[in-house]
Structure 1
C-alpha cells in the first residue's frame, strides 16, 4: 500500500514524498481511513511506529477543506504529556503541511513566555499543540475560543494519566464542541484508558496494531549487575568509550542525579547535556537542538525524555537507574533503534532491583541476559532466575578493550576533588531540613530511592 491509496490531499502526498516516506506503517494504514471518514478512534501504538503521522495526516487533510465557522480559534487541538513531545508534533505538522496554504501551527507549553503565547493566540490558529496545564491557564483566562474546533487528539494518553492530567484533560474536553471528532492514542489500552474513552469518545473504532509485549527485535538489550556507585561509573565510562556509540541517552532516576552525572561526564571531556523538568523551556529546546545537530554525544535525562525524542543517530540507551514503571522501560529504550535502525539498550541493576527486572521482563515478554565485562565484573552474584523451569543462560561476555583500568583511574568518576577534603563522589539524598543536605557513600544505590513529581 502507498500513501496515495489512503486518499490524502495531493499537497500532503507531495510533502511526505519529499520526506522520503514510501509506504504507510500498520498504524497509519488502519487509522488514517477511519479518521478521514470522521470516526472517533482509540488506538494502541508503541513508540516508533509512526503514530504522529497517523493522526496528523488526516488532521491536515481536514484542514485542506475551508471551514464556514468564523473565528480565530484552532480547528485541531493536540494534547501531549510533555513539552518535548508537543514540539515534535508541532514540527511534524509543519513538515507534513508545508504545501497547504496558510496553515498556522502554534505550541502552548509550560516554561514559555505568557506574553509570546498571548500574541500567538490573538492570531488565527489552525493547529494548537499544548500540554494540559498551560492550556488550562489560558482557558481560564478566556484567551482561547474553541468554537471552530473539529478534532481533539489525546497523544500518549496513558502517560498523561500517569502524570495526573486526567482531570485537566476532561476539563479541556468539556470546553470543546460536542460535535468534535476525538482521537486517543496510547501505548496501552487497559481498563483505565477504556473508562476515559467511554467519557470522551463516541462509538470509537478500536485499533491495536502493536502488542503490549512488543519484541523490539532491532534493539539489543543488555543487563549489567552492579555492586555500588563506583562500579556503575566504571561500567558507564567503559560504554561511553566505545567507538560504535554515536549518540546516547543516559537515564537517571531524579533531576538532581541528571545534573550531577552530566557534570561528571563533562569533567571527563565528554560532549554532554542534561534534560529534566526543572529546566526552562528555552534551556530544554537548546539542549535538544544541540543533540539533533550532533553537538552533543551524550544526553543525561530523566523520564521527561523517554517520549517525544526522535533522533536517528541515537545508537545507545543506558539505564543508569532502572525506571519505576515497566512501561517507561519500553519508552526509554525506544529512543534507539528508530526507523528500522539497530540499537543497543544497556541497564544497570543491583540486588535490590530484582522486582523491577521481573516486571520489565513480564511486560516485554523478553528475558534480558546479564552481561559481564572482563576486569569490571560484579562481586554481587545474583540468584539464577528461572524461566519456564529452565535455568538462565550463562551471562554474555562483553570483551573489554586492551587497556588497564589502573592506568586510567584518573579518568574514572571516583576522581579526587582538589577543592575538597575527600576523594569520593557522594550522592545527595533528601534531608528533613531543606537547608541542610545529607550524603551517603558510593556503596549506596540511587535506583528510585526518592521520586520527584515532575521530571
Structure 2
C-alpha cells in the first residue's frame, strides 16, 4: 500500500515521496482513511509509529480541497504538551506541505518572546501548533481567532492531562466551533482521557494500533544494579565509552541533576549538554539543533525530553534515575530504535528501587534482564524485603526494622537462641536494675537503708535541729524562720507593719495649697529657640 492508495492529494503524496516516505505505517493506514471521511478519532499507538503524519496529512488534505475564497482564520489547531513536540509537529507540517506554497504555519509556545508570536499571529495562519498555556494567553487577549477551526488535534492528550492542562484545554476548546473535527492521540484511551473525549468529541472511532505496553522488539533492554552513587557513575562511564555508541540520551529525575551530570560528563571529555524545563526556548532549540547535527553526543535530559525528540542517530538510552511513572519508562526508551532501527536501553538502579522495577515490568508485561559488568559487580547483595518501603514510626529509624505483633527488634536479634521469646532474658546474663532486691540497690558506696539523717548535708536541715515532724514550720517565731542562711531584717518588717494606710485621695499634695491648680507655663516657639 502506498500513500496514493489512501486518497491523499497528489501534492501531498509528491512531498512525501521527496522526503523519503515510501509507504504508510499501520497507524497511518488505519487513521488516514477514517479522518478523510470526517470521523472523530481516538488513537492509541506506540511512540515513533508515525502518528504525526496520521493526523497532519488528512488535515492538510482538507485544506487543499477547501475553496480559496474563504475568511481568514486558523483552520488547523494542534495542541501539544511540550515545546519540543510542538516544534517537531511544525517541522513535519512544513515537510508534508512543501508543495503548498500558500500554506502558513505558526508556533505558539511558552519560553519565547511575545513580540515574534504576535507578529506571526497578526497575519493569516492556516496551521497553528501551540502549547495550551501560551495559546490561552493569546486567546484571552484576543490575538487569536479560533472561530474558524476545522480540525482540532490533541497530541499526547494523556501527557497534557498529567501536566495539569485540563482547564486550559477546556477553555480553548470552548472557543472553537461545534462543527469541528477532533483527532485525539494518546498513550491510553481510558480514565481521564476517555472522560475528556466524551465532552468534546462526537461518536469517535477508536483505533488501537499498538498499546504502550507492547514490547519493543527492536530495543535491547538491560538492568544494572549499583551499590551507591559512585558505583552508578562508574557504570555510566563504562556504558558511554562503548565504541558502538553513536548518540545517547541520559535521563535524570530533576533539572539540577541534569545540569550537574552534564557538567561532569563534559569535564570527563564527553560532548554533553543538558535539556530541561528551566531552559528558555531559544536554548532548548539550540541544544536540539546541535544534537541533530551531531555536535552533541550525550544529551542529559529530564522527562520533558522523553516526548517530542526525534533524532535518528540515538543508539543508546540510559535511565540514570528511574522515572516517576512506569509509562514514562516506555517514552524514554522509545527515543532509540526509531524508524525500524535497533537500539539499546540501560537502566541503573540501587537495590532499594526494586519495587519500581517491578512496577515497570508489570506495566510493560515483560521482565528486564539483569546485566553485570565484569569488574563493576555490585558488592552488596539485596536483603530480603529491602526493596519494600518502610513504614513510619520506630521501625523507620536506622538500625531498626519492624518486628512481629507491633514490636520492634534490633538487627542483631537474629542471634537469639532458638526457642526463646523476643522479650525473654537470658537467665545467665547480668540482672538489670529492676531485678535487684530492694536492699541491694546502691547509692554511691552505701545502700539505701544505711543512709541516716546525720549523713545529710547541713543545707538539708534548714528548719533547725531535730526531726521536722516535732515542730511545724508555722509554729516557729517569724525571726527564726530562715531565708537561705540569712535571717530577715525584723526591724524593716516592723516599720512596714506600723506604716499607716492612706487612700490615694487622702494623701497631701506637696508644694501646693488646698485647691491650688498647677498649670504648666505657656512656652512659645521663639522663646524655646532663644533659650537653646
Same fold (TM over 0.5): yes
Shift of 1:46: 1.4
Shift of 1:354: 1.5
**1:373 corresponding residue in structure 2:** 373
Root-mean-square deviation (CA, aligned residues, Å) is 1.3
**2:356 corresponding residue in structure 1:** 356
**1:138 corresponding residue in structure 2:** 138
* 1: CA distance, partners of 2:318 / 2:280: 24
**1:405 corresponding residue in structure 2:** none
State yes or no: 1:14 paired with 2:14.
Answer: yes
Verify the 8 A CA contact 1:108 1:128 in the aligned structure 2. Answer: yes
**1:325 corresponding residue in structure 2:** 325
Secondary structure class of the residue paired with 1:206: strand
**2:187 corresponding residue in structure 1:** 187
**2:314 corresponding residue in structure 1:** 314
More displaced 10-residue stretch of structure 1: 274-283 or 353-362? 353-362
Verify the 8 A CA contact 1:109 1:135 in the aligned structure 2. Answer: yes
**1:59 corresponding residue in structure 2:** 59
Shift of 1:227: 0.8
Shift of 1:68: 6.7
TM-score of the pair, normalised by structure 1: 0.83
Secondary structure class of the residue paired with 2:223: strand
Secondary structure class of the residue paired with 2:318: strand
Shift of 1:382: 3.5
Secondary structure class of the residue paired with 2:65: coil
Give the structure with higher Rg (CA). 2
Change (3 A) 1:316 1:15: same
More displaced 10-residue stretch of structure 1: 211-220 or 53-62? 211-220
Verify the 8 A CA contact 2:147 2:175 in the aligned structure 1. Answer: no
**2:172 corresponding residue in structure 1:** 172
More displaced 10-residue stretch of structure 1: 358-367 or 283-292? 358-367
Shift of 1:70: 4.4
State yes or no: 1:102 paired with 2:102.
Answer: yes
Verify the 8 A CA contact 1:72 1:122 in the aligned structure 2. Answer: no
* 2: CA distance, partners of 1:149 / 1:213: 34
More displaced 10-residue stretch of structure 1: 64-73 or 245-254? 64-73
TM-score of the pair, normalised by structure 2: 0.71
Shift of 1:105: 0.8
**2:43 corresponding residue in structure 1:** 43
Change (3 A) 1:193 1:69: farther
Shift of 1:96: 0.3
* 2: CA distance, partners of 1:297 / 1:361: 29
- Structure 2: which 5+ residue stretches go unaligned? 386-532
**2:245 corresponding residue in structure 1:** 245
Shift of 1:294: 0.3
**1:232 corresponding residue in structure 2:** 232
Secondary structure class of the residue paired with 2:103: coil
More displaced 10-residue stretch of structure 1: 245-254 or 18-27? 18-27
Secondary structure class of the residue paired with 1:190: coil
Secondary structure class of the residue paired with 1:107: strand
* 1: CA distance, partners of 2:65 / 2:383: 63
State yes or no: 1:338 paired with 2:338.
Answer: yes
Q: Deviations over 1:259-299 (max 9, x none)?
A: 00000001111101100000010000000000000000000
Secondary structure class of the residue paired with 1:372: coil
Shift of 1:361: 0.5
Secondary structure class of the residue paired with 2:111: coil
* 2: CA distance, partners of 1:115 / 1:246: 39
State yes or no: 1:92 paired with 2:124.
Answer: no
State yes or no: 1:275 paired with 2:265.
Answer: no
**1:412 corresponding residue in structure 2:** none
Q: Which has the higher contact order (CA 8 A, sep 6+)?
A: 1
Verify the 8 A CA contact 1:71 1:147 in the aligned structure 2. Answer: no
**1:395 corresponding residue in structure 2:** none
* 1: CA distance, partners of 2:64 / 2:2: 20
Alignment length (residue pairs):
385
* 1: CA distance, partners of 2:166 / 2:44: 18
* 2: CA distance, partners of 1:371 / 1:112: 43
* 1: CA distance, partners of 2:245 / 2:109: 33
More displaced 10-residue stretch of structure 1: 117-126 or 13-22? 13-22
Secondary structure class of the residue paired with 1:21: coil
* 2: CA distance, partners of 1:67 / 1:202: 25
